[in-house]
Amino acid sequence: MTTTVGHLINGEMRDDAARTQDVFNPSTGEVTKQVALASVETVEEAIAAAQAAFPAWRNTPPAKRAQVMFRFKQLLEDNADKICAMIGEEHGKIAHDAMGELQRGIENVEYACGAPELLKGEHSRNVGPGIDSWSEFQPLGVVTGITPFNFPAMVPLWMYPMAIACGNTFVLKPSERDPTSTTFIAQLLQEAGLPNGVMNVVNGDKEAVDVLLTDERVKAVSFVGSTPIAEYIYSTANAHGKRCQALGGAKNHAIVMPDADMDNAVNQLLGAAFGSSGERCMALSVAVAVGDKAADTLVAKMRAGMEPLKVGAYSNSDNDFGPVITQAHQQKVNGYIDSAEADGANIVVDGRNPQIAGFENGFFVGATLIDGVTAEMQSYQEEIFGPVLQIVRVDTMEEAMQLINDHEYGNGTCIFTRDGEAARYFSDNIQVGMVGINVPLPVPVSYHSFGGWKRSLFGDLHAYGPDSVRFYTKRKTITQRWPSSSMREGVSFAFPS
Amino acid sequence: MTTTVGHLINGEMRDDAARTQDVFNPSTGEVTKQVALASVETVEEAIAAAQAAFPAWRNTPPAKRAQVMFRFKQLLEDNADKICAMIGEEHGKIAHDAMGELQRGIENVEYACGAPELLKGEHSRNVGPGIDSWSEFQPLGVVTGITPFNFPAMVPLWMYPMAIACGNTFVLKPSERDPTSTTFIAQLLQEAGLPNGVMNVVNGDKEAVDVLLTDERVKAVSFVGSTPIAEYIYSTANAHGKRCQALGGAKNHAIVMPDADMDNAVNQLLGAAFGSSGERCMALSVAVAVGDKAADTLVAKMRAGMEPLKVGAYSNSDNDFGPVITQAHQQKVNGYIDSAEADGANIVVDGRNPQIAGFENGFFVGATLIDGVTAEMQSYQEEIFGPVLQIVRVDTMEEAMQLINDHEYGNGTCIFTRDGEAARYFSDNIQVGMVGINVPLPVPVSYHSFGGWKRSLFGDLHAYGPDSVRFYTKRKTITQRWPSSSMREGVSFAFPS
Amino acid sequence: MTTTVGHLINGEMRDDAARTQDVFNPSTGEVTKQVALASVETVEEAIAAAQAAFPAWRNTPPAKRAQVMFRFKQLLEDNADKICAMIGEEHGKIAHDAMGELQRGIENVEYACGAPELLKGEHSRNVGPGIDSWSEFQPLGVVTGITPFNFPAMVPLWMYPMAIACGNTFVLKPSERDPTSTTFIAQLLQEAGLPNGVMNVVNGDKEAVDVLLTDERVKAVSFVGSTPIAEYIYSTANAHGKRCQALGGAKNHAIVMPDADMDNAVNQLLGAAFGSSGERCMALSVAVAVGDKAADTLVAKMRAGMEPLKVGAYSNSDNDFGPVITQAHQQKVNGYIDSAEADGANIVVDGRNPQIAGFENGFFVGATLIDGVTAEMQSYQEEIFGPVLQIVRVDTMEEAMQLINDHEYGNGTCIFTRDGEAARYFSDNIQVGMVGINVPLPVPVSYHSFGGWKRSLFGDLHAYGPDSVRFYTKRKTITQRWPSSSMREGVSFAFPS
Amino acid sequence: MTTTVGHLINGEMRDDAARTQDVFNPSTGEVTKQVALASVETVEEAIAAAQAAFPAWRNTPPAKRAQVMFRFKQLLEDNADKICAMIGEEHGKIAHDAMGELQRGIENVEYACGAPELLKGEHSRNVGPGIDSWSEFQPLGVVTGITPFNFPAMVPLWMYPMAIACGNTFVLKPSERDPTSTTFIAQLLQEAGLPNGVMNVVNGDKEAVDVLLTDERVKAVSFVGSTPIAEYIYSTANAHGKRCQALGGAKNHAIVMPDADMDNAVNQLLGAAFGSSGERCMALSVAVAVGDKAADTLVAKMRAGMEPLKVGAYSNSDNDFGPVITQAHQQKVNGYIDSAEADGANIVVDGRNPQIAGFENGFFVGATLIDGVTAEMQSYQEEIFGPVLQIVRVDTMEEAMQLINDHEYGNGTCIFTRDGEAARYFSDNIQVGMVGINVPLPVPVSYHSFGGWKRSLFGDLHAYGPDSVRFYTKRKTITQRWPSSSMREGVSFAFPS
């Protein structure tokens, strides 16, 4: 008899018995829980709770709202091990990786603690004679987040801490693959002193999503997922009068220049390509080596570096990375390796079908290195989202940059070099939103903002950081003039006797 | 034989002979010119010119780009009278009003002169040990503006000066009703030293618009017009991967409190309701009087204040306001007055069918005051866009605010009061983007941003001011680490002998 | 046998046996402790510790430094009652007042948690072709604070949390009157995980102060105290090459307009004039009533409001306020009341020599109201720093404002009115740094900055808030160009074969 | 009979016959004009004019004040050749150099055009329930600038355009060596539409300076000159209750790394060391070569690069640089070369006593290169302010940085390298305010701020750019609460019948 992960609505955990879905432990391949799939009515109830909580929360001073975030940070730190275990069991990532994810999430809570500073408007004295004008950034109302399986703790924390600190109320629809940690973390926020109804979680599938996208009480939607879904979310939300930011897929390239500190580059690439089984939208999945000499060195050192890598169950902290999320996804990743092979690429290290003793039914794919990849191959054009690093060989840096600029995605990219000029030229001209100089996962820190270009992000404003304050508020501009001076000038004759 | 207003493409004036449309002088009702209607090919040519000009313009330092704006301001001031005459002839507004419009437009050029300051990114030293991170706001590429007849000089100047100062190139599609001043002003920008192709103007109709909304080379669309068109523009542009801000209609209410300085309020309302024949998206079209005493005083003083108002041809500077834009629009405005009357409202001052000697065929509507309007009337629910002020009587300020918050539009609003508390409560709780305290047309100054709420604006970011910098640029975040210290530490043994 | 309050140097509590001074319980008049008075050598040791700790702390990423502040906030909240008891015993303020002080101090710690955001510099791409420029705000090194008796918890917390979050190391010299809570709080910061030597406390007198002002390793001095000492601190520190901000005395006026909500005004004035025995640099010590009618009402209502006020020992939470700090100060305050009486003012409520049962030797002064005060009186010109509110009667608002603008101090001020115009005129034209509209103690919140004008503050930058970030850092501007593209362009022929 | 350069006071040119001083043409050694030396009374008259103009100018909206700056920019560009000739005749710099100076000055005027944006304060809604708070940056009153001979156009333009745009009124005391261009430029500002008295110029010497430093109507002093005078100015101004920023001397080092693009480095050094005869506070006067190989290459290439350099009269545009400012200064510069020679340094290229045909009495010093300089030499320790580049040879980059960090000045510095890591380490750890990476004169652009560290600047805030807005304004923080809702809530029963 498995437990069922329910919904958090108006401060209480609810169940929605009608429909449920299996939750797997991808390390064993077994079903460990059920997740309730919210009905239309349940989602509407959550929206109603958020709507009801809005007026009082909006009028709570930002500094008071921030106090909840200070306590939330504390609770997240106190419960870190428990959360990481929840993540590991349902997602498969190893404890050290889950802790890294959680830490990044907590940093977003810390940033939300600064809401009083971040919500400041601009004040102008004398925009005209005796006329003042200023701007205020007011909350939107009920806002919602729809989040992916790969960061069940972090990606939701990109969204609701700042949304709530700005005075909004929230309905979160987490991934149905690994809902436990996400739901638990929301309960910690409740425990931190948030009034009922400000934060709500509905677990579910497309039925729930479509309510969030169309209900007119919802004012904004933040989404992270694949590009086709992101496009659907963006156009549907916009068509229903909501503001929307929808983050999609990626194909992140690293250029390896001949002058790079090659040991460092390889060291960085190992983590960036295979960490979390490559199931990160910032995973580095393509290395573009400039010149055959650099390429040959890179391949040799990568092969050596990959040898000690261990794939295995989340429960063993010595493992470097765990399984992928589902059996279907495992087969899809293997399929991309097959296709590269069929297209003539060279499978230098082959991670297909690894044997993990004691976890024979887990959804594992081993670290894979493919050389001789070209732009025409399907494995190059699409996002694999697995522990697969592909090497493309080019003759010049311009060629490498052209490759990146021609790709439909523009999430992250990196260059490995020692040369200041190459780094500057690259960062200036590359058509990608997040750029690393010798930093393979250039995820912006919490006080900057996260967002790709091209088909990696739909919307004007990036996720978390300063942009999120703008996304979760609307500008109001007040212009003020006091025409009558009767009280000020009149008192001399009016009152004294 | 009338002249034809053509297109400005790649620095040259072009004609597009295939299709043209009449341009009227609304003061006389006569056709005075033809405007060329761009074909798909012409628009694509303009886009291609903008595309070709982008790389060099993007790489021109912001401070150099700003120099063009400094010269543009100078040229606009030097040619002000000429521009105002062009506006008057085709739009109908009186010289003093045209000058006000132009002046507001010039202020946006002045703000664009500050591009080097406004484009600053955020730099963080040590986001981690030895790691720095910073943001850059890079131009989008080819961006476009689609603008309405009512401010042929100002609204385009809300858009392209900042877009261009940020490093973008531009294609403008002005209103086909009054294209002359808009096109001339663009030529002045060219004269100010802008490289060919950075600024382009295509005159036209929906055929041209649809190219701008769908061509994949266009990266962003700014639109100002009516709400139904704004929705179409917004959804179409978004569906084609462009960022978009689309400003729509309005129904701007003023609350007149019992303690208001009533002479001042009336004085302000006269200009705000009837100026430019009410053809402004910030025109004050509803006055909500709180208490019958305030209402009676307001109506009496308004009636008296309206008596000397003169409607007439643009060419006479003594006139207070001119004709509306077309005969069809004249009939539409009259129709709204008819409907109010039929619905039981009281036509206090009736501006239907004024007789203007010597301009019997002009599209005139006189200043109209209607009392006893209620929320159910069609004349209350829809935007009239004519010189008509409607009075709604309520008993309490809460009732007045509820009325405003229930209306589908949320562009501008105003309260007339002497009371600090009333003003603060109003500005905090009213669901409108631009709020005036004793300021009837709370159009933000150029260094703040313009935008309504609810169905008055589609998009996240407001027009002009700080928001426009964000709209016309995309954020790039760079994270940098220099792992190898070989040059720095190696030199001691490597070079000295 | 009393305990001795020692110094916190390099993470350890130290004693400096040579010289000590009595610490009193002002509620009983008894000596309860000794405070060690640091010798020159002890202070130099503290500076040396701070100097040694600087390089590593400077290089600690701001986000890591902020973690210490998050924990510090937690510890302050956990120890709040203990701290308030320490404050009460040595300063005399009642628990609710001590808690208010501590809360304000904690808010400064919260603001310092935002250091990563606040330390952002400005980045400009392409200040010239291929040239970038940015600013960094780097810490100064060893900085110091010298703080007064009246806020032993709050005023130090204005200074060192931000100074330390910015990467500086700190030496604090608290008031020798009530050093216990200040020293204890510093130990909590140590407990929060601060490396040894980053925060140091030296208790002492002028001997210690003079070392801090002249030692060349000290880079900046923050001071709060009386104006004559502030001037000495400012000129001495400047002459020794340090940056300095020195906050001095005050004489804060409230204008009471005839239209004020009088019950609210009186309610506010009671707390603002008598809270903490008036020993606050923001205490409201003068009420300027505009018109005799307002004045008469004000005096009558104040008299009634003062009746239930209870002065007494800190240990009874029912008391409204406690003793003043020393017997000498008690006599000084009484002397000002005597002088006002001698000068012809009307002592409406006389707080001299109250009898407090069981605390006959405490340094008490009761709440005192004086009417008919004029600008020539000594009691008007000087800061009393006691529970004394003086009423000045004027005929017009202009007269009231002139009075304020003519006073040598310009710390805080307030107007009580309902009228928006009067409030705006007042706030615009009054020569005072912190202005309240119906807010009698307009102490800026922690995310704005605190500072008076005229002889109330010496220095360019205000205390805490955004200004403190600038005060505790120095701007460095970097301009960068990478002239050679040999690595980038050279690789095509250099490496491929 | 020579002309006399007088004073600009209250919009009119005045003379002060009592005392005058010779103005030389340093290219010929001849006296060409007299400059009036203001008496105490004259300076007080200027201050009084500024004081009288302040209230109206302060109340002029910033956007209107900015209009004067837009016109001023235009007039400066229209009169550029005339101004450069004035500069050349009295200062000696060649037209291309004078034009560069003027251009930099104009950029400061452009920045001041952005005053409406730059003066924005911070607005916070709900700092407590129903309480708002915001900051305003208000002008100081009469402020003053005291400027050096070496940039008679640019340095004054660092100061008064922003000071005036912020709402202050100004009294400028230019250098008495070359007052003509400075005074003329101030007249252009008057011509641009500035009200009388807002800008005043007094020519003079220490008598005038001391009035400006002590008159209590003066609120702030900006100074640029030598360090001993800067210290005097700073301490005197502070002692008289003024805020002050005083910029002093410099000794700017370039580190030349072994990997530098050496041709580019030499090219840059030629201009940075000898341009304007080295009479710039940002002149590069020391090159620190890392490793003998780099040093030998540098010396050889510098020697070759210096060969074609032409020193001569300002009137010949083919010259590279002109004379130094006075005969006394010529002798002082020569004396430093003598002392280096006597101390054992190697005079590689000797510029002492060049023969300039036709200008035998001009104050010329030729470009001089000295190798083998060490830290003990007087020529290394002091600022030469002449066309002299000294080479110091070190073994490591750390040694080079230590040299710079040990010097008493910290104005500008530069590194020549291709290596990203070396550049980052240098810019992070060097104790200098303005840092160049391959940029030898890292003068910040007008929208950043200018300032050195250590004994190169006294004060908290740097010159021009964002810091100047803070320097020329004082923060006022307003906290507002409207306690009574009688107007808002009361109207329902009070008015309707």
What span, in angstroms and rounded, lies between the C-alpha atoms of D373 and D286? 9
C-alpha distance from B260 to closest chain A C-alpha (Å)? 9
In this predicted structure, what is the pLDDT of residue A144?
A: 98
Residues of chain B with pLDDT > 90: what percent?
A: 96
Query: Number of CB pairs < 8 Å for A and C?
Result: 146
Contact C120 B116 (CB under 8 A): no
Best CA proximity match to C474, nearest among C124, C69, C168, C214: C168
Selected for mutation to probe chain C from B124, B473, B480 (highest C CB count within 10 Å) is B124
pLDDT at residue A492, rounded to an integer = 40
Please give the average per-residue pLDDT across C303-308, as a whole number. Answer: 96
Asked if B134 lies within 8 A of C134 by C-beta distance, the reply is yes
Which chain D residues touch A124 with a CB distance below 8 Å? 62, 116, 119-121
| Among the partner residues C444, C453, C466, nearest to D133 by beta-carbon distance | C444
Mutate to test the interface with A, among C107, C162, C418, C421 (most CBs of A within 10 A): C421
> How many residue pairs from chains A and D have C-beta atoms closer than 8 A?
73
pLDDT on residue A1: 57
Instruction: Please report, in angstroms and rounded to a whole number, the separation of the first and last CA atoms in chain A.
Output: 88
Q: Model confidence over C88-112: pLDDT tens digits?
A: 999 999 999 999 999 999 999 999 9
**Which residue of chain A is at minimal alpha-carbon distance from C401?**
A488
Average pLDDT of B150-165?
98
Shortest Cα distance, chain A CAs vs residue B40, angstroms: 25
| Confidence band of B492 (pLDDT split at 50, 70, 90) | very low
Q: Are D487 and B259 in contact (CB under 8 A)?
A: yes
Task: Give contacts of A111 with chain C, Cβ < 8 Å.
Answer: 117
Tell me if D459 and C462 make a contact (CB, 8 A cut-off).
no
Note the pTM of the prediction, 2 decimals.
0.97
**D contact chains, 3+ CB pairs < 8 A:** A, B, C
Asked if D435 lies within 8 A of C477 by C-beta distance, the reply is yes
Sign of CA dihedral A351, A353, A359, A361: positive
Residue-averaged pLDDT of chain B:
96
Q: d(Cα A312, Cα A363) in Å, to the nearest integer?
A: 10
- A contacts of D126 (beta carbons < 8 Å): 59-62
Nearby residues of C157 by Cβ (< 8 Å), 6 or more positions away:
C104, C105, C106, C108, C109, C185
Looking at chain B, the whole-number percentage of residues with pLDDT higher than 70 is 98
Three-state secondary structure of chain B: CCEEECEEECCEEECCCCCEEEEEECCCCEEEEEEECCCHHHHHHHHHHHHHHHHHHHHCCHHHHHHHHHHHHHHHHHCHHHHHHHHHHHHCCCHHHHHHHHHHHHHHHHHHCCHHHHCCEEEEEEEECCEEEEEEEEECCEEEEECCCCCCCHHHHHHHHHHHHCCCEEEEECCCCCHHHHHHHHHHHHHCCCCCCCEEECCCCHHHHHHHHHCCCEEEEEEECCHHHHHHHHHHHHHCCCEEEEECCCCEEEEECCCCCHHHHHHHHHHHHHHHHHCCCCCEEEEEEECHHHHHHHHHHHHHHHCCCCECCCCCCCCCECCCCCHHHHHHHHHHHHHHHHCCCEEEECCCCCCCCCCCCCCCCCCEEEECCCCCCHHHHCCCCCCEEEEEEECCHHHHHHHHHHCCEECEEEEECCEHHHHHHHHHHCCCCEEEECCCCCCCCCCCCECCEECCEECCCCECHHHHHHHCEEEEEEEEECCCCHHHHHHHHHCCC
Q: Which residues of A touch B479 (CB under 8 A)?
A: 434-437, 439, 442-445
CB of D66 closer than 8 Å to CB of B110 = yes
| pLDDT at residue A21, rounded to an integer | 96
Of A445, A450, A483, the CB nearest to B261: A483
Contacts of residue D36, Cβ cutoff 8 Å, sequence gap at least 6: D4, D5, D6, D7, D15, D16, D17, D19, D20, D203, D204
What radius of gyration do chain A's Cα atoms show? Answer: 25
R_g (Cα) of chain C, nearest Å: 25
For residue B294, the chain D residue with the least C-alpha distance is: D495
Sign of the C-alpha dihedral computed for residues A82, A87, A89 and A92 taken in this order: negative
B387: closest CA of chain D, how far (Å): 29
The alpha-carbon radius of gyration of chain D (Å, integer) is 25
CA distance D449 to D458: 15
Q: In this complex, do B477 and A433 lie within 8 Å of one another by their Cβ atoms?
A: yes
Catalytic residues of B: 281
Pick C495's closest partner by Cβ from A114, A294, A422. Answer: A294
User: Chain D partners of B420 at a C-beta cutoff of 8 Å?
Assistant: 480, 482
CB distance A394 to A403 below 8 Å: yes
Token pair listed for A142: 């009920």
For residue A51, what is the DSSP state? H
**Which of C58, C118, C124 is the mutation pick for testing B, counting most B CBs within 10 A?**
C124
Give all domains of chain A, ordered by start, each with its CATH number.
3-248+456-478 (3.40.605.10), 252-437 (3.40.309.10)
Tell me which of A57, A60, A120, A126 to substitute to probe the interface with D (most D C-beta atoms closer than 10 Å): A126
Angle, helices D179-191/D154-165, rounded to nearest 10 degrees: 30
Q: Say yes or no for a CB contact (<8 Å) between D478 and C447.
A: no
Contacts A294 to C, Cβ<8 Å: 495
Residue of B nearest to A430 (CA): B476
Q: Give the pLDDT of chain D (497 residues) as one tens digit per residue.
A: 568 999 999 999 998 778 999 999 999 999 999 999 999 999 999 999 999 999 999 999 999 999 999 999 999 999 999 999 999 999 999 999 999 999 999 999 999 999 999 999 999 999 999 999 999 999 999 999 999 999 999 999 999 999 999 999 999 999 999 999 999 999 999 999 999 999 999 999 999 999 999 999 999 999 999 999 999 999 999 999 999 999 999 999 999 999 999 999 999 999 999 999 999 999 999 999 999 999 999 999 999 999 999 999 999 999 999 999 999 999 999 999 999 999 999 999 999 999 999 999 999 999 999 999 999 999 999 999 999 999 999 999 999 999 999 999 999 999 999 999 999 999 999 999 999 999 999 999 999 999 999 999 999 999 999 999 999 999 999 999 998 777 777 644 333 33
Handedness of CA D179, D184, D185, D189 (dihedral sign): positive
CB within 8 Å: A417 and D421: no
Are the C-beta atoms of residues D407 and D380 closer than 8 Å to each other? no
d(CA B281, CA B411): 8
Question: Measured between CA atoms, how close is A420 to chain D, in angstroms?
Answer: 4
Chain C partners of B120 at a C-beta cutoff of 8 Å? Answer: 122-124
Q: From the CA of D459, how many Å to the nearest CA of chain C?
A: 7
pLDDT confidence of residue D264 = 94
Tell me the pLDDT tens digit for each residue of B60-98.
Answer: 999 999 999 999 999 999 999 999 999 999 999 999 999
> Which residues of D have a CB under 8 Å from any CB of A?
59-63, 116, 119-129, 134-136, 138, 417-421, 423, 437
pLDDT of residue B495 exceeding 50, the answer is no
Q: Do B417 and D258 touch (CB under 8 A)?
A: no
* Distance in angstroms (rounded) separating the CA atoms of residues C54 and C287: 48
Q: Tell me how close the Cα of D150 comes to any Cα of chain C, in angstroms.
A: 23
Interface confidence, given as ipTM, is 0.96
Q: Which of chain B's residues have a Cβ under 8 Å away from the Cβ of D482?
A: 419-421, 423-425
Interface test with A, best of C103, C419, C487, C492 (most A CBs within 10 A): C487
Closest residue by Cα to residue A428 from C296, C129, D118, C261: C129
Q: Considering D113, D166, D244, D281, which one is annotated as catalytic? A: D281
The verdict on a CB contact (< 8 Å) between B433 and A471 is no
> Which residues of chain A are modeled with pLDDT < 50?
491-497
Shortest Cα distance from B284 to chain A (angstroms)?
15
Radius of gyration, CA atoms only, chain B: 25
Whether C130 sits inside 8 A of A424 (CB atoms) is yes
Contacts of A248 (CB under 8 A, 6+ apart): A225, A226, A227, A228, A229, A230, A231, A409, A452, A455, A456, A457, A458
Which member of B258, B424, B495 has the closest CB to residue D294?
Answer: B495
Burial B48-80 (b: 16+ CB within 10 A, else e): bbbbebbeebbebbbbebbbbbbbbbbbbbebb
> Which of C63, C123, C419 is opposite residue B123, by nearest beta carbon?
C123
Token digits for C270? 């009671």
Q: List C-alpha distances in Å: D100 to C204, D83, D96.
A: 56, 12, 6
Q: What's residue D18's pLDDT? A: 83
CA D243 to chain centre: 18
In 3D space, the residue among D93, D87, D224 whose CA is nearest the CA of residue D147 turns out to be D224
Q: Which residues of B touch D425 (CB under 8 A)?
A: 482, 485, 488
Record: contact D124-A417, CB cut-off 8 A? no
Q: Which residues of C touch A257 (CB under 8 A)?
A: 487, 491
User: How many angstroms away from the CA of A360 is the closest CA of chain C?
Assistant: 42
Task: Pull the structure tokens for residue D362.
Answer: 């001009």
Does residue C496 surpass a pLDDT of 60?
no
CA A143/CA C132 separation, integer angstroms:
39
Alpha helix (H) ranges present in C124-282? 154-165, 179-191, 206-214, 227-239, 262-274
Sign (positive/negative) of CA torsion C324, C328, C329, C332? positive
- A280 φ/ψ angles, rounded to the nearest 5 degrees: -135, 140
Q: Do C476 and D433 touch (CB under 8 A)?
A: yes
Amino acid C1: pLDDT: 57
Question: How many CB pairs lie under 8 A apart between chains B and C?
Answer: 73
